[in-house]
Amino acid sequence: MKTMVPNLKNIINHSPSIDKVGVEERCARFQSRSIKNESKWEGLKMVLSMIDLTTLEGKDTPGKVKQMCYKAHHLNDNMSDLPNVAAVCVYPSMVKLAKKELIGTNIKVASVSTAFPSGQAPLSVKLSDTKFAVDNGADEIDMVISRGEFLSGDYNFVHDEIATIKEACGHARLKVILETGELSTLDNVRLASDIAILAGADFIKTSTGKISPAATMPVTYTMLQAIRDHYVATGKMIGMKPAGGISNSKLALHYLVMVKETVGDEWLNNTYFRFGASSLANDVLMQIQKAKTGIYSSADYFSID
> Can 166 be counted among the known catalytic residues?
no
Q: Which of 139, 142, 202, 283 is catalytic?
A: 142
Q: Residue 107, by phi and psi: left (phi above 0), alpha (psi -120 to 50) or beta? A: beta
- Let me know: does 102 contact 69? Beta carbons within 8 Å: yes
> Can 205 be counted among the known catalytic residues?
yes
Q: Which of 99, 131, 175, 241 is catalytic?
A: 241
In sequence order, what DSSP letters do the residues of the chain get, joined into one string? -PPPPTTHHHHHHHPPPP-HHHHHHHHHHHTT----HHHHHHHHHHHHHTBEEE---TT--HHHHHHHHHHHTTTTSS-TTPPPPSEEEE-GGGHHHHHHHTTTS--EEEEEESSTTT--S-HHHHHHHHHHHHHTT-SEEEEE--HHHHHTT-HHHHHHHHHHHHHHHTTSEEEEE--GGGT-SHHHHHHHHHHHHHHT-SEEE---SSSSS---HHHHHHHHHHHHHHHHHH----EEE-BSS--SHHHHHHHHHHHHHHT-GGG-STTTB-BB-HHHHHHHHHHHHHHHHS-PPPGGGS---
> Can 142 be counted among the known catalytic residues?
yes
Q: Which of 131, 166, 205, 283 is catalytic?
A: 205
**How many Cα atoms sit within 13 Å of 109 on the Cβ side?**
26
Residue 268 phi/psi, 5° resolution?
-85, 60
Active site residues: 142, 205, 241
